[in-house]
């Protein structure tokens, strides 16, 4: 067989395998783009669990006409210029892969208008080479991305889509996680034209109302607030007392939602050392540290991070969470390691 360069669409479809697993992963990438664009209001409309339509509208910075083609191209990003930037990345995205990947496995249109532009423009990519077509459109300041017929041209992926209900529940869960990542965002989620969730922007970062909206009133009433920090490390959030059965377990690192093994392990250890081997009850925990101390470029979907001083961070989390578990159960003996 001769060696040939893959056509753009095929190359993008292969890359899509890493970031676009299901409708919820599309929603994650698009909402994160809206957040990176400085949006304060994001509307997420879903039809048929995202099989048919995923539409994200934001009031962010928008994209100028001349950059629409680039936005849909692979390895094109406005968020990163040098390797050094990667060392202290503060945006949620930086790989420049999402729009190219998603548009290679769906019918994607991108409409946008920066506030200082007269006209809004719409773009979509077509064919094997993904040539971008551009036309004028009507659109308020900000961006709308519509993703129709996800995986229509990749039957192998489509086969793995679950029922509408299951796919929507993944999206709903994701939006709840995002709602707790940024209290100042106004978010609306609709499914088949019905409003499912609505979060009003909250000026204070510790809004227990929003926690109640996501994790339930009982969680918000029973959880203790924890706050701890030293040497540039900060941890805060809510932790349920032992014996409560709410399974909300959300963690964030520098505003990015995570399912990081080290963090989860440290939290579990804190409970084990104070309350014995118990099922870890619910928590919503935020960790903040110098961005140069954490590598987010470990996983394409950025679920995990790598801490430069893993041991230190682990111990810090254990100590901080132990404090709050002990305060919730004053009758428990203090362990000598604490």
Chain residues that interact with ligand ADP, rule: CB under 6 A: 29, 33-34, 37, 58, 60-63, 71, 76-79, 93-100, 143
Nearer to Mg ion, 28 or 170 (CB): 28
| Cβ distance to ligand ADP smaller for residue 97 or 328 | 97
Which of residues 93, 237, 281, 282 is near Mg ion by CB under 5 A? 93
Region of 25-33, 47-55, 237-245, 257-265 interacting with Mg ion (CB under 5 A)? 25-33
177 binds, among ligand ADP, Mg ion, none (CB under 5 to 8 A by kind): none
- Return phi, psi of residue 63, to 5°: -130, 130
Is 108 among the residues that bind Mg ion (CB under 5 A)? Answer: no
Helix/strand/coil percentages in the chain, nearest 5: 35, 25, 40
Q: How far is CA 279 from CA 152, 211, 216, 246, 317, in A?
A: 42, 21, 19, 11, 18
Regarding 73 and contact with Mg ion (CB under 5 A), the answer is no
- In whole angstroms, the minimum distance from the beta carbon of 94 to Mg ion comes to 8
Using CA atoms, how far apart are residues 190 and 294, in angstroms rounded to an integer? 35
Tell me: does residue 60 bind Mg ion (CB under 5 A).
no
Distances (CA, A) of 280 to 244, 249, 286, 324: 9, 9, 17, 13
Phi/psi of residue 125, each to 5°? -105, 140
In the complex, least distance from residue 95 CB atom to ligand ADP, rounded to whole angstroms:
5
Q: What is the dihedral of CA 171, 174, 180, 182, to 10 degrees?
A: -90
Q: How far is the CB of 102 from ligand ADP (least distance, A)?
A: 8
CB of 129 to ligand ADP, least distance (A): 18
Q: Please tell me whether residue 33 binds Mg ion under the rule CB under 5 A.
A: yes
Instruction: Rule CB under 5 A: say whether 237 interacts with Mg ion.
Output: no
**Segment interacting with Mg ion (CB under 5 A) among 94-102, 105-113, 194-202, 295-303:** 94-102
* Phi–psi pair at 57, nearest 5 degrees: -115, 135
Smaller CB separation from ligand ADP, 50 or 60:
60
**What residue ranges bind Mg ion (CB under 5 A)?**
33, 93, 98
């Amino acid at each position: 067989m001769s060696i040939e360069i893959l056509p753009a669409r095929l190359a993008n479809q292969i890359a899509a395998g890493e970031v676009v697993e299901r409708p919820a992963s599309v929603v994650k990438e698009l909402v994160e783009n809206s957040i990176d664009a400085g949006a304060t209001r994001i509307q997420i409309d879903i039809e048929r669990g995202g099989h048919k339509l995923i539409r994200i509208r934001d009031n962010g910075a928008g994209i100028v006409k001349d950059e629409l083609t680039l936005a849909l191209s692979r390895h094109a990003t406005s968020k990163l210029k040098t390797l050094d930037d990667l060392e202290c990345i503060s945006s949620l995205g930086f790989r420049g892969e999402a729009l190219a990947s998603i548009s290679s496995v769906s019918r994607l249109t991108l409409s946008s208008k920066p506030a200082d532009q007269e006209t809004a423009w719409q773009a979509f990519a077509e064919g094997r080479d993904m040539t971008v077509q551009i036309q004028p459109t009507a659109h308020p300041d900000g961006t709308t991305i519509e993703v129709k017929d996800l995986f229509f041209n990749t039957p192998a992926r489509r086969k793995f889509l679950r029922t509408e209900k299951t796919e929507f529940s993944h999206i709903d869960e994701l939006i709840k996680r995002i709602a707790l990542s940024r209290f100042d965002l106004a978010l609306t989620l609709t499914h088949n034209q019905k409003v499912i969730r609505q979060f009003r922007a909250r000026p204070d970062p510790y809004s227990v109302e929003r926690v109640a909206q996501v994790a339930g009133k009982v969680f918000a009433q029973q959880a203790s607030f924890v706050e701890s920090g030293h040497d540039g490390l900060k941890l805060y959030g809510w932790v349920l007392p032992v014996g409560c059965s709410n399974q909300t377990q959300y963690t964030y690192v520098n505003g990015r939602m995570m399912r990081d093994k080290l963090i989860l392990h440290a939290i579990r250890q804190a409970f084990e050392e104070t309350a014995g081997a118990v099922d870890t009850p619910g928590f919503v925990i935020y960790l903040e540290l110098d961005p140069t101390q954490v590598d987010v470029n470990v996983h394409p979907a950025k679920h995990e991070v790598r801490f430069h001083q893993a041991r230190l961070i682990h111990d810090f989390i254990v100590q901080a969470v132990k404090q709050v578990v002990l305060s919730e159960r004053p009758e428990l003996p203090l362990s000598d390691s604490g």
